[in-house]
Amino acid sequence: MKRICAFLLAIACCLSLFGCKKQAEPTPTQGPSEVTTEATTEATTQTEAPTEAPTKEATKKPTQTKETATVAANKRPAAATKASAPVTTKVTKAPTKATVAATVQTVMEATEAHEHTFGEWFLQEASSCVVAGKELRRCSQCEFAEIRDLPMEEHSLNATNMCRTCRQVIFDDNAPLVELGVVCDAWYGVGADANFAWDIKYWKGKIYRGAGDYDKNSGNTTILAYNIATHIWEKTGSAADEAIHSFIEIGGTLYVPGIDPREGWEQGNFYVLQEDGKWKQVRNLKNGVHNFDMIECNGKIFAGLGTETKGNTVAVSEDGGKSFKFVPLYKDGKLMDLSGYKSSRTYEFVKYKGEVYALVRFTLGFGGEWAVFRYEDGKLHYLTNGFKLLGSSTSRKYFGGEFEFDGACYIATGGLTVVTDFANQENWKQIPMPGGETVVDAFLDNGVIYTLAYAQNRNPSTHNVESYRTVIYKSTTGKEGSFQEVLSFDYDNTPMSFDWDGKHFYIGTGPGKESAKVGMVLRATPAA
């Protein structure tokens, strides 16, 4: 009996002891986030170094506990290298604020303790005369990068001091005469007639220049403009025509007549400068094989044409250039009989006392006849033979400039011709310049007439032309004897056109002694 009682007592004690131990063991609780076995494995895997190397404390191998794995899984390096892959974790709950704070602190401590060891500099962007290049170097431990600027390259100048890279013209701003370059000779060839600066026009801070050769079919014409502020020649657009002979202000903007279309001759062109500085092609001049000149008067736009139909030589638009219709030619009150002529072309317009006058040429196979017409009541009325107006004009450009002043019409046509009645040639008078020079261009600015003229400088022994004397005159009355010299200089080539920006004259040249300077654009500054 005693043995049985002792055995039962031992069993009771064992059961009592087991129950105490069971109650003392705590029930496990959830950590800050639950992580899968995959997350634990990835988080405890050694990754590539962050931007800053860690401290010794930070590099201790983490204890492989569930809590440690959770913190590591939610930890992000401040900046990984390009080569290192991002640490990917599968977190089922967002990390607690305490976990994030501890992660940032660890990274900051690691960043502050790192010293960069840089390798060589590597070229990122080459320098030019426009922009500075850049070099980069990285830390060999963490790929931290530094960038530095390189010196800009010097301009690569051609013979006329224009940079081959950026097209900027380099010159002494105080020089009285500066060559701004031929600019288009790279396309047409040195000395080509297509290089002629047929017209020079100042417009909103830029100098536009004409170019091309419609007689020799020089191809599409790039419309070039010299930016006065930057000293750079800019390509502002391209005309699908063989040449540009004039820039004309109509309705507060610039127009360019398309002188010989590269496309089919069923339509002729003109171009309008847009607000963005580019040119818009308008192709609506029926049979417009040539569009030589344009003018605006009394809300109408006129185009002087050379078409394949005799008599269709002037077109007029009453809707701002959206559409045009031909104007019939009348003589002695009747429609002109053009059966004996081969063709008709209108080369120039003049506006005088609110009326439009046209200079028309009729061809007879060899030679031809020139005539002056006046527009009235939808018709062009013959007035008189116009040959006297031509003077010694430059080839293929007959009027170098025309304007109305003090009750008369002034036209640069080799001389400065003053007209008070186009129907009566007795009222056509030439005003001579003081040195007897040939007048090739003229304009009116704030009540002052400016003329561009030149004379040949001949060797007295050989009588050969050695250079050309270019002169700019001015007058406030337009009367004979009133013109005074503004500036003058000797140059290898003849002047053709000019304009004024209020401080400098810009002069376009043509043929002359030096082929490399055919079409040179000059900037001339009058003495203070």
| pLDDT tens sequence across 143-201 | 789 999 999 998 888 877 888 888 889 889 999 999 999 999 989 999 999 999 999 99
What is the pTM assigned to this prediction?
A: 0.74
Q: Give all strands (DSSP E) within 172-309, no chain letters.
A: 177-181, 200-203, 206-209, 211-212, 221-227, 232-239, 243-244, 248-250, 253-257, 267-273, 279-286, 290-297, 300-306
The helix/strand/coil state of 23 is: helix
d(CA 496, CA 508): 6
Q: Which stretch, 28-32, 124-128, 132-136, 349-353, has highest mean pLDDT?
A: 349-353
Summarize pLDDT for 199-248 with one digit per residue, the tens: 999 999 999 999 999 999 999 999 999 999 999 999 999 999 999 999 99
Q: What is the pLDDT of residue 451?
A: 98
Return the structure tokens found at 145.
């990068």
Domains and CATH numbers, the chain: 49-114 (no CATH), 117-154 (no CATH), 155-280+393-528 (2.120.10), 287-385 (no CATH)
More confident residue, 372 or 365: 372
Say how far residue 307 (Cα) sits from the centre of its chain: 33
d(CA 478, CA 449): 7
Nearest to 328 by CA among 346, 305, 312: 312
Summarize pLDDT for 410-446 with one digit per residue, the tens: 999 999 999 999 999 999 999 999 999 999 999 999 9
The answer to whether 98 and 32 have CB atoms below 8 angstroms apart is: yes
Return the structure tokens found at 413.
């046509």
Q: What is the pLDDT of residue 50?
A: 38
Instruction: Work out the pLDDT band at 394, boundaries 50, 70, 90.
Output: low
Nearest to 519 by CA among 221, 212, 299, 260: 212
pLDDT at 522 over 80: yes
Instruction: Work out the pLDDT band at 15, boundaries 50, 70, 90.
Output: very low
Q: What is the pLDDT of residue 307?
A: 87
Least confident of 100-109, 140-149, 193-202, 511-520: 100-109
Cβ-proximal residues to 353 (8 Å cutoff; 6+ apart), any chain: 404
Bridge-based pairing of strands 200-203 and 334-335 is unpaired
pLDDT at 481 over 90: yes
pLDDT at 368 over 60: yes
Least confident of 255-259, 387-391, 471-475, 482-486: 387-391
Give, as one character, the DSSP assignment of residue 240.
S
pLDDT at 68 over 80: no
Return the structure tokens found at 447.
């009540």
Q: Is 309 exposed, middle or buried (0-12, 13-18, 19+ CB in 10 A)?
A: middle
d(CA 232, CA 180): 9
The answer to whether 149 and 488 have CB atoms below 8 angstroms apart is: no
Instruction: Work out the pLDDT band at 395, boundaries 50, 70, 90.
Output: low
pLDDT at 39 over 50: no
Longest Cα–Cα distance of the chain, Å, equals: 167
pLDDT at 503 over 80: yes
Q: What is the pLDDT of residue 119?
A: 87
pLDDT at 342 over 60: yes
Q: Which stretch, 100-109, 166-175, 389-398, has highest mean pLDDT?
A: 166-175
Q: What is the pLDDT of residue 113?
A: 59
The side-by-side arrangement of strands in the sheet containing 505-512 is 177-181, 521-524, 505-512, 493-500
